[in-house]
Amino acid sequence: MQVGIDQIGLFTPDKYVDMVDLANARKQDPNKFLVGIGQREMSVADITQDAVSMGINATLKFIDKIDKNKVGLLIFGTESSIDQSKSASLFVKTALKLKPEVRTFEVKEACFGLTAALMMARDFVRVHPEQTAIVIGSDIARYGVNTAGEVTQGAGSVAMLIKADPSILALNNGHSAYSEDINDFWRPNYSRTALVDGKYSTQVYLDFFKKTYTDYKKQKGLKTSDFDAITYHLPFTKMGMKANNIAIEGQDQATMIKLERSFAAAKQLSSRVGNIYTASLYMSLLSLLENGELPAGSLIGLFSYGSGAMAEFYSGKLVEGYEKQIDPTADQAMLDRRKKLTVKQYEDVFNTALLDPEDGLELTSDDEVGTWYFAGTKDHIRQYRVKE
Ligand code: HMG
């Protein structure tokens, strides 16, 4: 029995900053951001979009197409948690009207969170093939105004339905995992913005890629030329490009061209949305499916990296007819509908969202893309509402 990704939905809030504007404001050469980092735009979440509301909005992309009664597991991966105890997934479960018998919880290991959720969901469906699982990754990447990491911020969520006989990607057995207890990136409980040893983090990312990719190929008896595409966690697209360059180094011309083309397709969405931590790898996968024109049966490698640090390489095969489940025009329209902020507007929106609204204050949302939004707290309980 094959198990894998049957549905996939992306949500990003309706505001963005152009990287040329940001570079000019920070007195940097725009090519540093456009080419050196590889980002064109960056989505910005205002105070009414948090991990929960974005996760609901991503899942809404496919919820009407699935049998909700079959969903036996709902896992929410995030490092932008809204509560130290209660899982974000319980708010989502209520919004989506899933049955009370669903097993549901939140997981965390930096950007690896959604891969952890996906692997648990795959194993759950293998044991309960008549049931399905929803996994959600949802995050707001925040380093702070005028920091080195600022250009690598972003906001968004990816939700996926995991099921037997999937319609998009059948996951292959096996994986290669690697972890070390290090301090490349972290966010203490007292801080709304991440702390990072930026240059070190990029070295560790590449080091963990080499380890897991080499080990995976050895385990499975695969060569680089066997892959039709490799997708990467993309904190910024140049990071993935560096890993892809390692993968294709010394390969024949045809393999190099194939994997360069597929990477170019896979980075499109990230270059306009920015880092969405847990969901970033899966936004790359979606971007590849939307822009890559790959035939069914194509072998796709997936490299997941979460700071702290934990990495995993695994693979899947594209299923016949997968294109019917993908709607590139809808995602393009969502990005095109976003409002461009000036750098001053972005700074105000960003700094406001770092603060908790006064308890009892009802927030209204001007987000034109999201259906659900965070409406403030009442008696210190978070309120989520549907836009009128
Ligand atoms: P920086 O100091 O601003 O940048 O920090 P730089 O000076 O190293 O320049 C960046 C690149 O731009 C360089 O290219 C320059 O040469 C180039 P490279 O050597 O890397 O190939 N450059 C130019 N190119 C063209 N024209 C120009 C020009 N000027 C310079 N005029 C850094 C960059 C990424 C370190 C910073 O933004 C940062 O700290 N970001 C956050 C950390 C991060 O994203 N790390 C990635 C790996 S860790 C990870 O992926 C996990 C994460 O997602 C969190 C999680 O797991 O939860 C972050």
Residues 215 and 341 in one domain: no
> Ligand 1 mean position to 32 CA, how many Å?
9
Residue after which a domain boundary falls, among 274, 303, 323: 323
Looking at 41, 106, 109, 111, which residue is catalytic? 111
Residues 238 and 155 in one domain: no
Residue after which a domain boundary falls, among 270, 292, 323: 323
Looking at 106, 150, 175, 233, which residue is catalytic? 233
User: Candidates 202, 281, 283: which one to mutate for ligand 1, based on the most atoms within 8 Å of Cβ?
Assistant: 202
User: Candidates 24, 28, 196, 246: which one to mutate for ligand 1, based on the most atoms within 8 Å of Cβ?
Assistant: 196
How many independent structural domains does the chain possess? 2
β-strands 3-11, 154-164 pairing: antiparallel
> Ligand 1 mean position to 202 CA, how many Å?
8
pLDDT at 179: 98
252, 54 contact by CB (below 8 A)? no
Residues 138 and 51 in one domain: yes
Residue whose Cα lies nearest atom 31 of ligand 1: it is 32
Residues 145 and 183 in one domain: no
Residues 138 and 12 in one domain: yes
* Token pair for 67: 């049998």
Residues 248 and 274 in one domain: yes
Residues 200 and 246 in one domain: yes
Maximum pairwise Cα distance, the chain: 63
Q: Is 320 a catalytic residue?
A: no
The number of the ligand 1 atom at minimal distance from the alpha carbon of 239 is: 46
**C-alpha distances in angstroms, 352 versus 48, 144, 202?**
10, 12, 30
Residues 163 and 179 in one domain: no
Residue whose Cα lies nearest atom 2 of ligand 1: it is 148
pLDDT at 367: 86
Q: Is 347 a catalytic residue?
A: no
> Ligand 1 mean position to 201 CA, how many Å?
9
Long-range contacts (CB closer than 8 Å, 24 or more residues apart) made by 341-350: 341/15, 341/16, 341/17, 341/44, 342/21, 343/17, 343/21, 343/22, 343/25, 346/15, 346/17, 346/22, 346/44, 347/145, 349/15, 349/44, 349/46, 349/47, 350/44, 350/142, 350/145
User: Candidates 33, 114, 185, 278: which one to mutate for ligand 1, based on the most atoms within 8 Å of Cβ?
Assistant: 185
The number of the ligand 1 atom at minimal distance from the alpha carbon of 150 is: 37
Angstrom distance (rounded) from CA 269 to CA 288: 9
pLDDT at 368: 85
pLDDT at 78: 98
Residues 59 and 131 in one domain: yes
pLDDT at 60: 98
Q: Is 180 a catalytic residue?
A: no
Consecutive 10-residue averages of pLDDT for the chain (388 residues): 97 98 98 98 98 98 98 98 98 97 98 98 98 98 98 98 98 97 98 97 98 98 98 98 98 98 98 98 98 97 98 98 95 97 98 97 92 98 94
**C-alpha distances in angstroms, 184 versus 113, 114, 140, 306?**
17, 19, 18, 10
Q: φ, ψ for residue 73 (rounded to 5)?
A: -145, 135
> Ligand 1 mean position to 27 CA, how many Å?
16
Angstrom distance (rounded) from CA 103 to CA 161: 15
Angstrom distance (rounded) from CA 74 to CA 202: 32
pLDDT at 181: 98
Residues 222 and 331 in one domain: no
Q: Cβ atoms within 10 A of the Cβ of 378, count?
A: 12
Domain that residue 177 falls in:
171-323
The number of the ligand 1 atom at minimal distance from the alpha carbon of 306 is: 56
Residue after which a domain boundary falls, among 323, 338, 358: 323
pLDDT at 278: 98
Q: What is the pTM of this model?
A: 0.98
Q: Is 242 annotated as a binding residue?
A: yes
Residues 315 and 193 in one domain: yes
Q: Is 215 annotated as a binding residue?
A: no
> Ligand 1 mean position to 37 CA, how many Å?
6
Output the domain CATH number for residue 312. Answer: 3.40.47.10
98, 74 contact by CB (below 8 A)? yes
> Ligand 1 mean position to 211 CA, how many Å?
21
Looking at 79, 109, 290, 312, which residue is catalytic? 79
* Token pair for 195: 């702390």
Q: φ, ψ for residue 175 (rounded to 5)?
A: -165, 165
Residues 290 and 259 in one domain: yes
Q: Who lines ligand 1 at CB under 6 A?
A: 29, 31-32, 35-37, 79, 110-111, 148-149, 151-152, 184-185, 196, 198-199, 201-202, 205, 233, 235-236, 239, 275, 277, 305-307
